[in-house]
Amino acid sequence: MALMTAAEYIESLRKLNTRVYLFGEKIDNWVDHPIIRPSINCVAMTYALAQNPEYEEIMTAKSNITGKTINRFTHLHQSSDDLIKKVKMQRLLGQKTASCFQRCVGMDAFNAVYSTTFEIDEKYGTAYHDRFVKFLEMVQEEDLTVDGAMTDPKGDRAKAPHQQDDPDLFLHIVERREDGIVVRGAKAHQTGSINSHWHIIMPTIAMREADGDYAVSFACPSDAEGLYMIYGRQSCDTRKMEEDADIDVGNRKFGGQEALVVFDDVFIPNEYVFMAGEYDFAGMMVERFAGYHRQSYGGCKVGVGDVVIGAAALAAEYNGCEKASAVKEKLIEMTHLNETLYSCGIACSCEGCKTKAGNYQIDLLLANVCKQNITRFPYEIVRLAEDIAGGLMVTMPSQKDFTSDTVVGKNGETVGDICNKYFAGRSDVSTEDRMRVLRFLENVCLGSAAVGYRTESMHGAGSPQAQRIMIGRQGNIEQKKEFAKIIAGIKRS
């Protein structure tokens, strides 16, 4: 197959026996559930654009494993150019969906696990790398969506995994068999997990010998026995279930998705086990995955930012104030911040280097700088968008009010008449269009899409302190001190 279509992707999900729970109940037809479907549409866009000749260069790649043309989301980066195209692809998809398209975590996991398993085998003579390559070959051939799962619930943050009162708060091996392992625990905040065919699991922190059972990496299908998912609640999510709420939803077609993925004694055959106790490599896998994923934000969040800037400009135009110098300055500042984020994503890609395994890794310092800026700039972009949009963004009546035929006025005016009269902007712009762009901004800034833009910018791929720790480690202060000593004429010790 190599390249799946968007329609084939959606149909492939129907064939899975994925166990999904939402609002305390099991959802049998989760593919068509109004809250879940927008996130599926986002993933489907990664398949649709790969079929479009206009985007072929950045959406597809040549597999270093099979030599076939594959979706770039299943690719192992072979050069700095591949890393750059990854960022460009993510910006494009952000522009097309204004949301989270979810396949980035799997792609970043592939590249981290590929290089780490190579080095584990090099030290211990294990067979993890060959197993992983065979698994990835299947993923590429079938064009599968894979959830990259790293974050454990963690419990008491002051305690190591083996010290937790409840050992399941970090996913761990509970039984080792000749033919595989049995695992128990959970992965939290899992982006796109429900919309994935498979999951690839990684440890969440660097570990010591006592945490050996927690140093585990493996792959398993979404409908594996003992695996189930509890859908994460989002602000304004039930608007998607209301009738006649097309405008109120904001982003009508697309949305993000996170879930708690629970492993209730799931058996993993040896062929899908990529780490099982090699605790000294847990930190390497975490660091490499985090670096790739922090690079990703220099693409996806920038694409969404492009749409936010466009929506803010439209709101100003529909309000009749697009020529005001203050509005122009705000749009310039939003653009400046957004392009700075993109520059960071491109920079860490350009400075990438080859790993021992042969795939390319980003510059880890610059990737962490990229994500550190992501924790700040989207918040300012959103603030400026809200400033331009005005208070109506959060105080307007519902769509049903705008279409209501309930009579309220002395001259027979309906609720709909009144709303359309008093919430009009420019005479050449319909009230509905003005409401649509304001509801879209509400969705991105405050509602469901905020999970995939604003709040995820803070906590996705690690919270701000995680990047600062890595910047401190990789900043090479000692070398910088030597530079200063030489120029200042200070004798070097």
Question: In this structure, what token pair is assigned to residue 117?
Answer: 């398993």
The active-site residue, picked from 119, 386, 442, 456, is: 456
**Residue 478 is a catalytic residue:** no
pLDDT (tens digit per residue) in 198-233 = 999 999 999 999 999 999 999 999 999 999 999 999
Q: What is the pLDDT of residue 447?
A: 77
- In the chain, which residues have pLDDT < 70? 1, 449-450, 493
pLDDT at 450: 66
Short-list 412, 460, 473, CA closest to 100:
460
Nearest Cα residue to 200 out of 167, 171, 166, 234: 171
pLDDT of residue 448: 73
**Phi and psi torsions of 419, nearest 5°:** -65, -45
Domain coordinates in residue numbering, the chain: 6-282, 287-479
pLDDT of residue 252: 87
pLDDT of the residue at 446:
87
User: Is 321 considered catalytic here?
Assistant: no
The single residue of 9, 297, 342, 453 carrying the catalytic annotation is 297
Instruction: Please state whether beta strands 60-62 and 273-276 pair in parallel, antiparallel, or not at all (unpaired).
Output: unpaired
Q: Are 145 and 106 in contact (CB under 8 A)?
A: yes
129 catalytic? Reply is: no
Residue 147 main-chain phi, psi, to 5 deg = -80, 125
Q: Which residues contact 434 (CB under 8 A, 6 or more apart)?
A: 315, 318, 319, 423, 424, 425
Q: What angle do CA 109, 111, 115 make, to 5 degrees?
A: 115
User: What does the block give as tokens for 47?
Assistant: 């398949």
Do residues 140 and 68 lie in contact, with contact meaning Cβ atoms separated by under 8 Å? yes
Catalytic annotation on 258?
yes
Instruction: Considering the candidates 100, 220, 348, 445, report the single residue annotated as catalytic.
Output: 100
Would you say 373 and 341 are in contact if contact means Cβ atoms under 8 Å apart?
yes
6-282 maps to CATH 2.40.110.10: yes
Please name every residue paired with 259 in a beta bridge, in sequence order, or none if there are none: 190, 231
Catalytic residue among 33, 55, 116, 258: 258
Catalytic residue from among 42, 104, 344, 419: 104
Q: Do you know the residue count of the chain? A: 493
Annotated binding-site residue? 406: no
Q: Single out the catalytic residue among 220, 300, 344, 370.
A: 300
In this structure, is the dihedral angle defined by the CA atoms of residues 331, 337, 339 and 341, taken in order, positive or negative? negative
Active site residue 300: yes
| Rounded Cα gap, residues 309 and 381, in angstroms | 8
Q: Is 129 helix (H, G, I), strand (E, B) or coil?
A: helix
- For residues 348 and 369, what is the distance between their CA atoms, to the nearest angstrom? 9
Known catalytic residue at 293: yes
Phi, psi at 177, each rounded to 5°: -120, 170
Q: Identify the active-site residue in 293, 348, 370, 386.
A: 293
Rounded to two decimals, the pTM is 0.96
- 346 and 452 in contact (C-beta within 8 Å)? no
- Catalytic, 104? Answer yes
CATH number for the region 287-479 comes to 1.20.140.10
236 is catalytic: no
Q: What is the DSSP letter of 424?
A: -
Tokens representing residue 473 in the block: 């480690």
211: three-class secondary structure by DSSP:
helix
